[in-house]
Amino acid sequence: MSGFFLGKPLHWLKLVVICGGLWFAGVARFHVIHFNLFAIVLLAISAFCVLVVLSGAKSGPKITREDILPDETEKRVSGD
């Protein structure tokens, strides 16, 4: 499973908790009844999640899995 679930287990757990929280907000219609508070909480949670990912990453290695290389078709179209 480590080939399928890349990254730290904490990041996957964070994703599951966020999806559960958003599901609960949808069921409770929190995003309709208290929209301003919902938007502020959503922004705060998003910022916290980005900080957790960046703080856990070392300065040397990349956060992404591999480099994104241009397709061979793009090379042929551009004439390189």
Do the domain assignments include residue 75?
Answer: no
pLDDT in tens, 27-60: 888 888 989 988 888 888 888 888 887 887 777 6
Q: Could you tell me which residues come within 8 angstroms of residue 52 by beta carbon, excluding any fewer than 6 positions away?
A: 10, 11, 14
Confidence of residue 79 (pLDDT cuts 50, 70, 90): low
Q: How many domains does the chain have?
A: 1
pLDDT in tens, 58-72: 776 666 667 777 777
Do the domain assignments include residue 38?
Answer: yes
Do the domain assignments include residue 76?
Answer: no
Coil, strand or helix: which one is 7? Answer: coil
Do the domain assignments include residue 77?
Answer: no
pLDDT higher than threshold 80 for residue 25: yes
Range of the domain at 27: 8-56
